[in-house]
Structure 1
């Protein structure tokens, strides 16, 4: 990993936005970008862009993982995120949908930078399924179908939820119920960041 990316925590705010598929991570991030000047990085979007990039060495691997609802190997995702952080002029980053499993969390914090806080958007599978099927009507995403969605739920519970539990031990996790409207959920999320930047 490049030494440039190993910036001190004082210089940088890195927040992980975690939650099951369809919990509203991207929607909440868009509002935080507007109010707090974050750069929003979606691990899923970065992987999809890389998959479509002509000549990508990871393209086929990423495509197969997405199709199967599996997790892309850590080093691929971390490389893409680190590149984006280094290229950016900002020092505030929201990373949504990452870390997807504990080894990603540990590797990112060791090799790139430690996270400042974690938002965990808590949502029932029933609500998330309804949201994703509705999104699938227009998104054109290959993973917005019921079979893949159910695989993604299983992957989240088995591999991603332990990440939330790991960070909870360090007191970094803010759990936010997210089955209400976008505005109601954001009314719970916004004060967490207002408080964070007041302290800095």
Structure 2
């Protein structure tokens, strides 16, 4: 509808047309860091203070595998158990579905935190192929934390989370997958000036103080 309206006013400046068109697209912040870096905890705080919608790629995949009628359930389960990355087509389809449903219910809810994605080069290429003209990536929020701290946090979380991958064997696999596959993606974005890094080894409140500095500036 907006495109038809814009088309009927040829004198609208190109810059304004671009701004109005962009407003219709999801604005995305990729949230990356190792397992246990505190991405989920900080995303909850960002949602509360800044009104973003939080989409966890991992949670979407875990929820999908529990659906008895899902064609991807068993496949997702086997990838997660082995600490491997689920095929990008599945992950992107789940993310896009959630963004579409959110914006359909409220067109003003167009700002999203996508937590734990993209996790490798295949994810990044898949996103660029499918979503480049659909969504705008504002920046990458990188929670930087040493491996042992991440593992200790996940083991503690595993006492009550019920997650099958919160055990040392799976965690060590996930850490290696992160270092080999995800960290290079962060490095790529950093070269283009799109990475905002936070020291995630600090306390929850200290980390969020750094996060607020970023979002107060970036919006």
**Match of residue 152 from structure 1:** 174
Separation in structure 1 between the aligned mates of residue 28 and residue 124 of structure 2, nearest angstrom: 12
| CA displacement 1:129-154 (0-9 Å, x = unmatched) | 11011001111100000000000000
Q: Please give the residue correspondences for 1:94-113 in structure 2 after superposition, counting only pairs within 5 Å.
A: 94-112=113-131, 113=135
Separation in structure 1 between the aligned mates of residue 49 and residue 125 of structure 2, nearest angstrom: 29
Asked whether 1:179 is paired with 2:201, we answer: yes
**Match of residue 32 from structure 1:** 46
Which structure: larger Rg?
Answer: 2
Shift of 1:169: 1.6
Taking only aligned residues, the RMSD between alpha carbons, in angstroms, comes to: 1.3
| CA displacement 1:21-73 (0-9 Å, x = unmatched) | 00000000000000110000000000011000121110001000110000000
Q: 1:66 to 1:196 in 2, by over 3 A?
A: same
For structure 1, which runs of at least 5 residues remain unmatched after alignment? 1-6
Asked whether 1:128 is paired with 2:147, we answer: no
Task: Give the counterpart of 1:166 among 188, 196, 203.
Answer: 188
For structure 2, which runs of at least 5 residues remain unmatched after alignment? 1-19, 104-108
Separation in structure 1 between the aligned mates of residue 124 and residue 210 of structure 2, nearest angstrom: 25
Separation in structure 2 between the aligned mates of residue 194 and residue 128 of structure 1, nearest angstrom: 27
Normalising to structure 2: TM-score of the pair?
Answer: 0.84
Separation in structure 2 between the aligned mates of residue 96 and residue 9 of structure 1, nearest angstrom: 22
Separation in structure 1 between the aligned mates of residue 21 and residue 98 of structure 2, nearest angstrom: 17
Task: Give the counterpart of 1:73 among 81, 87, 109.
Answer: 87
Normalising to structure 1: TM-score of the pair?
Answer: 0.92
Shift of 1:128: 0.5
| SS of equivalent to 1:104 | helix
Number of corresponding residues: 191
**Match of residue 102 from structure 2:** 88
**Match of residue 31 from structure 2:** 17
Q: 1:15 to 1:9 in 2, by over 3 A?
A: farther
Separation in structure 1 between the aligned mates of residue 125 and residue 119 of structure 2, nearest angstrom: 11
